[in-house]
Amino acid sequence: MPATPRGATLRRRIRSLGGKVIRRLGLLPGGMPDGLGEDQELLGTSWPYEVLVYFADTPEALYQIEQWYDTFRALHAEHPVVVVTQDSRTARAIRRDSGLDVRTVAHYTTLDDILGRSPTKLALYVNHNPENFTCLRFGQLVHASLMHGDSDKLVTVSNQTKAYDFSFVAGQAAVERMARFSTLYDAHARCVPVGRPQLDDQLRLRARTPRGPLPTVLYAPTWEGGQPSAEYGSVATHGLAVVRALVESGRYRVLYRPHPLTGVRVAAYGEADKAIREYLAAAPAPAEGPAHGTDTHGDVAPAFAAADLLVCDVSGVAMDWLATGEPIVVTRPVGDVVIASSPLLELAPALPVAALGDVLATVDRELTQDPTRDRRLTLREHYLGDTAPGASTQRFVAACERLMEIRDREVARIEAYGAPSAAPTGNERGTR
């Protein structure tokens, strides 16, 4: 028997009420924003922000935006910044830890309403969340992808990059990578090298941190990736063997810094991570200096400041470490993961599984002889540009200002033609 209009309305209300209760009780599936927005308070208002940072993720992905807080605060000092989320839990954490203005917007129509009467010109994104398209639809903004790291992983040349007007990248190496491995994409026109502003404070902290009596080796692997083709992580294949060899030598202090998402897709990574943590917790402390340990701080700067050599995977950590000028050893994944040719991977000593027995000798050689130092310092500029403290932040702010100028010119150009009558906005059902 067909449902009556009254019955269908009642069921919709029940589902809506049930959804609200589920969201407020925090019973949503992992990765789903709670959608508890400030929409009713925001509708019909405007805001003073020139820059919008769109972050649609749930709290487990906060590490992607946390590294940008200092940079966003520097930008906010010149041009007002607001962070827009779809999740009230995420909003609370960002507001607490960053001091930035944050708004939770659950519905596209709310954002459309506010932006129509506000001076917002630039939208920034720190990941490729599919929900970014909620904001990418606004043609009166210039959209720039920042991402949350630069690396020689092939995922850094994702086809999703084409959705944005521009991509902020660390240095010339990233432009060349995009030009070489992306199809139908003008990397030289759309990539904007700004360095890595996150490194400004890291380098200052490193300069103030005294060296320990024993060299510290930082083991900072990546996670298993979102799919097997991106499984660059070494925790399950290399981790415990690397850590044990260095600890048992008695010549090094070992600091382990796992990726926050380690083990979320592959259980073996979580088990290996647990084994490494437990081993280091039980290992006797070095004869001198700090104990071995696991670092899980949100900020990588203290770990970088304490370390004399990095063992890592093909990841963004390798790029950032270049700024220190110190030695690096890069693992090689097992399986069918594609490793693209790059200047850093060709230069840095490789550590495949077959060479785990030589890890101690490799670390000894790199710390005592450092045979690739001069070439590595040359690569530092190629990958990161000017690494003088403060230089990257200045370049970032200047790049944002240039994009806002481009936006003003483009909006003026379109307005000169006059608005088309009854032009579709793209949010009507059935439009193409």
- What DSSP character marks residue 335? S
Could you tell me if 55 and 147 lie in one domain?
A: yes
Integer Cα distance of 286 and 310 in angstroms = 19
Poorest-confidence range of 72-76, 342-346, 365-369? Answer: 342-346
Could you tell me if 190 and 204 lie in one domain?
A: no
Average confidence (pLDDT) over 92-107: 97
Integer Cα distance of 114 and 44 in angstroms = 7
> Given a cut of 60, is residue 27 above it in pLDDT?
no
Question: Which tens digits make up the pLDDT trace of 222-239?
Answer: 999 988 888 999 999 999
SS3 at position 217: strand
pLDDT of residue 24: 46
Could you tell me if 274 and 256 lie in one domain?
A: yes
Q: Which residue, 207, 305, 298, 213, is CA-closest to 255?
A: 305
> Given a cut of 80, is residue 37 above it in pLDDT?
yes
For the chain, the distance separating the N- and C-terminal CA atoms, rounded to the nearest angstrom, is 35
In a domain, 348, yes or no: yes
pLDDT of residue 14: 39
Contact 102, 91 (CB under 8 A): yes
Could you tell me if 170 and 116 lie in one domain?
A: yes
Helix ranges (DSSP H) in 170-239: 172-181, 187-190, 199-208
pLDDT of residue 419: 65
In a domain, 390, yes or no: no
pLDDT of residue 151: 80
Residue 353 sits in a domain whose CATH number is: 3.40.50.2000
pLDDT of residue 201: 85
Could you tell me if 216 and 83 lie in one domain?
A: no
Could you tell me if 157 and 221 lie in one domain?
A: no
pLDDT of residue 10: 44
> Given a cut of 50, is residue 157 above it in pLDDT?
yes
pLDDT of residue 30: 56
Question: Which tens digits make up the pLDDT trace of 102-154?
Answer: 999 999 999 999 999 999 999 999 999 999 999 999 999 999 999 987 887 77
Residue type at 109 in one-letter notation: T
Could you tell me if 178 and 240 lie in one domain?
A: no
In a domain, 3, yes or no: no
In a domain, 418, yes or no: no
Domain boundary among 197, 222, 240: 197
Could you tell me if 232 and 267 lie in one domain?
A: yes
Q: How far is CA 344 from CA 74, 174, 180, 278, 305, in A?
A: 30, 12, 16, 32, 21
In a domain, 85, yes or no: yes
Residue 153 sits in a domain whose CATH number is: 3.40.50
> Given a cut of 90, is residue 12 above it in pLDDT?
no
Element (H, E) at 167: strand 166-169
Residue carrying structure tokens 């259980």: 267
Question: Which tens digits make up the pLDDT trace of 306-337?
Answer: 999 999 999 999 999 999 999 999 999 998 88
> In degrees rounded to 5, what are phi and psi of residue 334?
-95, 170
Question: Which tens digits make up the pLDDT trace of 160-206?
Answer: 999 999 999 999 999 999 999 999 999 999 999 999 999 988 888 99
Task: Collect all residues with Cβ–Cβ distance below 8 Å to 123 and sequence separation of at least 6.
Answer: 51, 52, 53, 54, 135, 136, 138, 141, 142, 143, 144
Could you tell me if 185 and 231 lie in one domain?
A: no
pLDDT of residue 420: 65
In a domain, 180, yes or no: yes
pLDDT of residue 58: 96
Element (H, E) at 253: strand 253-256
Number of independent structural domains in the chain: 2
Domain boundary among 147, 174, 197: 197
Could you tell me if 47 and 67 lie in one domain?
A: yes
Q: The domain containing residue 50 runs over which residues?
A: 18-197
Across the chain, mean pLDDT equals: 90
Domain boundary among 175, 197, 219: 197
Q: Which residue, 91, 20, 80, is CA-closest to 56?
A: 91
> Percent helix, strand and coil across the chain, each rounded to 5?
50, 10, 40
> Given a cut of 60, is residue 90 above it in pLDDT?
yes
Q: Which residue, 275, 241, 244, 282, is CA-closest to 258?
A: 275
The pTM assigned to this predicted structure is: 0.85
In a domain, 432, yes or no: no
Could you tell me if 234 and 102 lie in one domain?
A: no
Poorest-confidence range of 156-160, 163-167, 422-426, 427-431? Answer: 427-431
Could you tell me if 152 and 48 lie in one domain?
A: yes
In a domain, 296, yes or no: yes
